[in-house]
Amino acid sequence: MSLSMYQASVPVFVRMLGNLSAILDKANAYAETKKIAPSVLLGSRLAPDMLPLSVQIQIACDSAARGTARLAGVDLPSNPDTETTFAEFQARIARTIEFVKTVRPEQIDGSEERSITLPMRTGEMKFQGQEFLLGFTLPNLFFHITTAYAILRHNGLDIGKMDYIGKP
């Protein structure tokens, strides 16, 4: 049995964003316990030239939502980057999961050859659907969730691999 484009995208997006949400719940509790202003954690980064935790969360959500929309051929959801609290980031994750779940398998299955053009600061990137999912969207999602995990772990949050992977 082959793996469909839907199976390789939507369930993965939902699971990983759910895991990110659970990690952020722990980060919020940690901040409260340690009396750390949430803005300190949300503004943390691993290196001076790196995007902070807040932006890692936003990009992870955008990767899943925009990836889903492009594969399904539907309008891209709008998500202005205005979050400043853990609650607001949790709401963004929830909205993203809700959007991703609205897309049906028949909207994504068969998108392997769909032409997808991404506007980038440095010019356009062109993909076919399968390459877009496997070579761009999934790696981008995993990179930003991994980076969010690493930032929080670096700041003392007691999380491990199973928090990142989640429970089946």
Provide the CATH number for the domain around residue 83: 1.20.120.450
Q: Is residue 5 part of a domain?
A: no
User: What is the reported pLDDT for 60?
Assistant: 98
What is the number of domains present in the chain? Answer: 1
Question: Would you give per-residue pLDDT tens digits along the chain (168 residues)?
Answer: 689 999 999 999 999 999 999 999 999 999 999 999 999 999 999 999 999 999 999 999 999 999 999 999 999 888 899 999 999 999 999 999 999 999 999 999 999 999 999 988 999 999 999 999 999 999 999 999 999 999 999 999 999 999 999 987
Q: Is residue 167 part of a domain?
A: no
Q: Is residue 168 part of a domain?
A: no
Q: Is residue 155 part of a domain?
A: yes
| Predicted structure pTM score | 0.96
Q: Is residue 19 part of a domain?
A: yes
b vs e for 6-44, b when ≥16 Cβ sit within 10 Å of the residue's Cβ?
bebbbebbbebbebbbbbbeebbebbeeeeeebeebbeb
User: What is the reported pLDDT for 2?
Assistant: 87
User: What is the reported pLDDT for 1?
Assistant: 61
User: What is the reported pLDDT for 168?
Assistant: 73
Nearest C-alpha neighbor of 70 from the set 111, 101, 13: 111
Contacts (Cβ under 8 Å, ≥6 apart) of 113: 128, 129, 130
Q: Is residue 1 part of a domain?
A: no
User: What is the reported pLDDT for 141?
Assistant: 98
Domain region containing 102: 10-161
User: What is the reported pLDDT for 165?
Assistant: 95
